[in-house]
A = this chain, B = another copy of it.
Amino acid sequence: MAELMDGMTQERAAETAVAATVASLSKHFGDRLATGRTIREQHANTLTWLGNEAPDAVVFAESEEDVQLIVRICAANGVPVIPFGTGSSLEGQINAPKGGISIDLSRMNRILAVNMEDLDCVVEPGVTRKQLNDHLRDVGLFFPIDPGADASLGGMASTRASGTNAVRYGTMKDNVIALNAVLANGEVITTARRARKSAAGYDLTRLLVGAEGTLGVITRLTLKLSGQPEAISAGVCPFPTIRSACDAVIATIQSGLPVARIELLDEVQVKACNAYSKLDLAEQPTLFVEFHGTEAGVHEQAERFGEIAADFGGGAFAWATRPEDRSKLWQARHDAYWACLPLKPGAKALATDVCVPISRLAECVDETKRDIEEMGMVAPIVGHVGDGNFHTVTLVDMDDPHDVAKARDFISRMVKRSLAMGGTATGEHGVGQGKRKYMEAEHGTATLDAMRAIKQALDPQGIMNPGKILP
């Protein structure tokens, strides 16, 4: 009874705190504060099977000072703060399980500087990767990280995004030079200078990249840019089996071939893409590859890859030499998620990813595929296999408790398989809410305690995107 009363008292206190926060925000932000149900629900998880847990209000920030003010008001009331970019995260990173204020950063979308000589740029967090690349098109540079969705760069940093180009250009970890972030105390930190490297103190840049807003709200990013390759060559190569395709990938990476993208689609995914993107690929396990370099270099790389693929029974190769053919190919790859949906009409798509040492890739994909077949599921496999990273898109009938339970079981088995092979619970989607339960198994108690100590040190009230990452 006392417990129930305590619970009710706490709930009432939280409601009062939220009301005070909203009143205060309203005074400062006027119609940039939104409390309507639809807009609140749009600012919580909408993409995956995880439930929608809407924030209490949404504020549209337009400057770093706005973010500071919002965080300070929330901190004064002990109310959660959830940063929002484009909402394309997949593990519930933007949900508000404890309520709170969603800071919509999409209006902070200015490209502040492009330093062509230094191959870097400075952007606000709401700039999307396509916006940045459109801006860079004419100056011969590009930002290589490409998770598929046209995500915001702040969100990509927060989830340590990677995607198809990571095998050559690295992940967000490797392509963020410096960040500004507003901490729970309302102060702005600048994590690093614009120099290419530094040995001057703790690497707060890398600490914030992948922290999913639980340590601070990113308000500015300095990013590495790459020169647009002089020549690009892309192609598609079918293989007799998943294992032969994976073995070709392993051999490619081991040979040191600087492949820019090397993506696996299993035969289920190829079939889905054929239907969705109007392609006519052979419905077999298939690698999509791309090479960047000089004309001569690209030619040499493609030739060597062809030899490796042939060693594992791959071919015939179909090259996409014209830019529009390449675009069509990669658009189809990026649309893989959407292409899956018609495979089981009415189902929700549960995209999940793991990443293993590349020596275990074929084994891991093989066992996962066997699971899919034995469990009788619809779950195409796609993957950034050059990194040992792959995804399943499990289609789940959310109205069938048995189907839901089976899908949960399948994902849990997949994560445990990855961990047992020296892999991780997530290569690029992040932890959010969906993968929290695996953090103990992945990191162990001492390491998690260290993470908790850091969280506690920087956010003693626990207001920064609570309920994410740490179990």
Which A residues are closer than 8 A to B by beta carbons? 115-120, 159-162, 166, 170-171, 173-174, 183, 187-204, 206-207, 209-211, 215, 226-227, 229-230, 250, 253-256, 294, 296-297, 300, 355-359, 387-389, 418-419, 422-431, 435, 438-439, 442-444, 446-447, 449-451, 453-458, 469-470
Known contacts A118-B359, A204-B451; 18 further A-B pairs (Cβ under 8 A): A159-B199, A161-B199, A190-B447, A196-B388, A196-B389, A197-B424, A198-B424, A199-B424, A199-B428, A199-B430, A200-B438, A201-B443, A202-B455, A206-B206, A227-B254, A230-B256, A294-B300, A450-B458
Number of copies: 2
State whether A187 and B446 are in contact (beta carbons under 8 Å apart), knowing that A203-B206, A209-B203 are contacts in the complex: yes
| Complex: chain B residue closest to A254, CB-CB | B117
Q: Is the CB of B454 within 8 A of A200?
A: no
A466 to chain B, nearest CB (A): 15
What residues on B are CB-neighbors of A188 within 8 Å?
Answer: 446
6 pairs of residues in contact across A and B, judged by CB atoms under 8 Å: A160-B199, A190-B444, A192-B424, A202-B455, A203-B207, A296-B297
A429 vs B359: C-alpha distance in the bound complex, in angstroms? Answer: 35
A195 to chain B, nearest CB (A): 4
State whether A202 and B428 are in contact (beta carbons under 8 Å apart), knowing that A195-B357, A357-B196, A358-B118 are contacts in the complex: no
A158 vs B149: C-alpha distance in the bound complex, in angstroms? Answer: 37
State whether A443 and B173 are in contact (beta carbons under 8 Å apart), knowing that A160-B199, A206-B203, A426-B199 are contacts in the complex: no
A368 to chain B, nearest CB (A): 15
| Complex: chain B residue closest to A181, CB-CB | B450
A194 vs B203: C-alpha distance in the bound complex, in angstroms? Answer: 21
What residues on B are CB-neighbors of A159 within 8 Å?
Answer: 199
The one of B171, B189, B424, B446 that contacts A446, using a Cβ cutoff of 8 Å: B189
A215 vs B202: C-alpha distance in the bound complex, in angstroms? Answer: 10
| Complex: chain B residue closest to A432, CB-CB | B199
Q: Is the CB of B197 within 8 A of A202?
A: no
Q: Is the CB of B201 within 8 A of A451?
A: yes
A292 vs B199: C-alpha distance in the bound complex, in angstroms? Answer: 26
Q: Is the CB of B297 within 8 A of A200?
A: no
What residues on B are CB-neighbors of A166 within 8 Å?
Answer: 197
The one of B160, B200, B254 that contacts A424, using a Cβ cutoff of 8 Å: B200
A187 vs B454: C-alpha distance in the bound complex, in angstroms? Answer: 16
A266 to chain B, nearest CB (A): 20
State whether A198 and B388 are in contact (beta carbons under 8 Å apart), knowing that A173-B206, A296-B296, A446-B189 are contacts in the complex: no
What residues on B are CB-neighbors of A451 within 8 Å?
Answer: 201-202, 204
| Complex: chain B residue closest to A256, CB-CB | B227
The one of B120, B162, B199, B207 that contacts A202, using a Cβ cutoff of 8 Å: B207
A187 vs B283: C-alpha distance in the bound complex, in angstroms? Answer: 51
What residues on B are CB-neighbors of A255 within 8 Å?
Answer: 227
Q: Is the CB of B227 within 8 A of A358?
A: no
What residues on B are CB-neighbors of A160 within 8 Å?
Answer: 197-199, 203
Q: Is the CB of A197 within 8 A of B458?
A: no
What residues on B are CB-neighbors of A470 within 8 Å?
Answer: 201
Q: Is the CB of A120 within 8 A of B454?
A: no
